[in-house]
């Protein structure tokens, strides 16, 4: 009897290509998922740092008669009867090289160093691609105003104009004082920290540092739109990582495509300073609403 042999047909070229294509698609999806998980993990760690900074500020205030840290990044002595700033949260004076690169020394000289367990990692966002020692800024509208009538933000900016006839009643000649925790009426809605890339001091491709506090121009709305004196870091794909004065954190999705192009027209360079958001300016209005709610009136946001 003749044995009954089965013929085994191998894969055709088309079938092999189909299998390879499916494997490539699966791997691509896996890599995308991994990148998303990594980005989420970095964003979570970034927000954890900001929570720690906000809580460190509250602890510092508890130890200093309720007075919070200053958002400035350099200490200066009293001038012309105005108080100096000795409680700046970091102090870059004497801690920079060529007025460009910030050193860990500026963190050590700041008011929050011991409250951050003397750990420089708490000042650096894992989302920050620049390698700088500090990725965060405090809001220019907290920790300022006491005994300095003309100083409304960052112990430096003189805005809004307290005597401008454009200022609504109730905001005219009002001092935006926030030098103590008790002078902040809504801490759970008041901005404490924000990620800021700040390319102002970038030189020869070397990342600079975040100079002073984070500020946008608060004034009665005009046809020109909302002026961002500083722009946030654009590391979290449309979101901005922030903390509030009570230690809560958030990553609001406020950076839409048109605004991102205005803030960072060249992706190989840091975001610009002093950009104007036109139209209905939703991102600007949100940011204005969390600077000093209960003090800065909605009419000038």
- Convert the pLDDT of each residue in 75-96 to its tens digit: 877 666 666 678 999 998 877 7
> Do the domain assignments include residue 79?
yes
pLDDT of residue 81: 60
> Do the domain assignments include residue 6?
no
Is the pLDDT reported for residue 202 higher than 70? no
> Do the domain assignments include residue 256?
yes
How far are the Cα atoms of 197, 212, 254, 271, 287 from residue 262, in angstroms, in the given order?
Answer: 15, 22, 14, 9, 17
User: What gap in Å lies between CA 251 and CA 141, rounded to an integer?
Assistant: 20
Number of domains the chain contains? 1
Q: What is the pTM of this model?
A: 0.84
- The residue written with tokens 């984070």 in the block is 214
Higher-pLDDT residue of 176 and 260 is: 260
Among 64-68, 166-170, 253-257, the minimum mean pLDDT is found in 166-170
pLDDT tens-digit readout, 182-196: 989 999 999 999 999
- Taking alpha carbons only, the member of 78, 79, 82, 107 closest to residue 93 is 107
Cβ-contact 175, 152 below 8 angstroms: yes
Higher-pLDDT residue of 21 and 154 is: 21
Is the pLDDT reported for residue 135 higher than 60? yes
Q: Are strands 191-195 and 136-138 parallel, antiparallel or unpaired?
A: antiparallel
Split at pLDDT 50, 70, 90, the class of 151 is low
192: DSSP letter: E
Cβ-contact 270, 232 below 8 angstroms: no
> Do the domain assignments include residue 249?
yes
Is the pLDDT reported for residue 23 higher than 60? yes
- Taking alpha carbons only, the member of 125, 108, 121 closest to residue 249 is 125
Dihedral of alpha carbons 85, 178, 213, 114, sign = positive
pLDDT tens-digit readout, 225-283: 888 999 999 999 999 999 999 999 999 999 999 999 999 998 888 888 889 998 889 99
21: DSSP letter: H
> Do the domain assignments include residue 158?
yes
Is the pLDDT reported for residue 147 higher than 80? no
pLDDT of residue 22: 87
Domain of 227, in residue numbers: 14-300
CA–CA–CA angle 210, 202, 136 (5° rounding): 20
Cβ neighbours, 10 Å, residue 299 = 12
> Do the domain assignments include residue 171?
yes
> Do the domain assignments include residue 151?
yes
Peptide bond into 160 cis (omega under 30): yes
235: DSSP letter: -
Is the pLDDT reported for residue 11 higher than 80? no
> Do the domain assignments include residue 5?
no
Is the pLDDT reported for residue 148 higher than 70? no
Specify which of 43-57, 129-143, 154-168, 271-285 reaches the highest per-range mean pLDDT.
Answer: 43-57
User: What gap in Å lies between CA 214 and CA 74, rounded to an integer?
Assistant: 14
pLDDT of residue 163: 67
DSSP helix/strand/coil, 72:
coil
Split at pLDDT 50, 70, 90, the class of 178 is confident
């Amino acid at each position: 009897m003749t044995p009954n042999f089965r013929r085994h047909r191998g894969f055709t070229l088309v079938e092999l290509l189909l299998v390879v294509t499916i494997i490539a698609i699966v791997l691509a999806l896996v890599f995308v998922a991994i990148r998303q998980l990594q980005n989420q993990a970095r964003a979570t760690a970034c927000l954890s740092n900001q929570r720690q900074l906000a809580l460190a500020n509250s602890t510092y205030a508890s130890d200093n008669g309720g007075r919070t840290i200053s958002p400035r990044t350099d200490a200066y002595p009293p001038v012309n009867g105005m108080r100096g700033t000795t409680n700046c949260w970091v102090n870059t004076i004497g801690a920079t090289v060529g007025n460009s690169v910030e050193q860990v020394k500026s963190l050590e000289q700041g008011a929050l160093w011991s409250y951050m367990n003397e750990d420089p990692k708490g000042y650096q966002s894992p989302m920050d691609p620049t390698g700088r020692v500090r990725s965060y800024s405090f809001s220019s509208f907290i920790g300022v105003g006491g005994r300095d009538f003309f100083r409304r933000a960052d112990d430096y900016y003189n805005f809004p104009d307290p005597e401008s006839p454009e200022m609504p009643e109730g905001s005219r000649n009002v001092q935006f004082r926030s030098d103590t925790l008790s002078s902040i009426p809504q801490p759970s809605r008041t901005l404490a920290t924000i990620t800021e890339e700040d390319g102002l001091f970038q030189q020869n491709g070397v990342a600079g540092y975040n100079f002073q506090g984070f500020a946008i121009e608060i004034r009665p709305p005009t046809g020109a739109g909302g002026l961002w004196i500083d722009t946030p870091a654009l590391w979290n794909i449309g979101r901005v990582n922030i903390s509030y004065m009570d230690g809560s954190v958030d990553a609001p999705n406020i950076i839409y495509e048109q605004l991102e192009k205005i803030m960072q027209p060249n992706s190989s360079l840091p975001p610009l300073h002093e950009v104007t958001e036109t139209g209905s300016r939703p991102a600007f209005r949100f940011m204005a609403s969390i600077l000093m709610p209960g003090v800065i009136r909605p009419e000038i946001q």
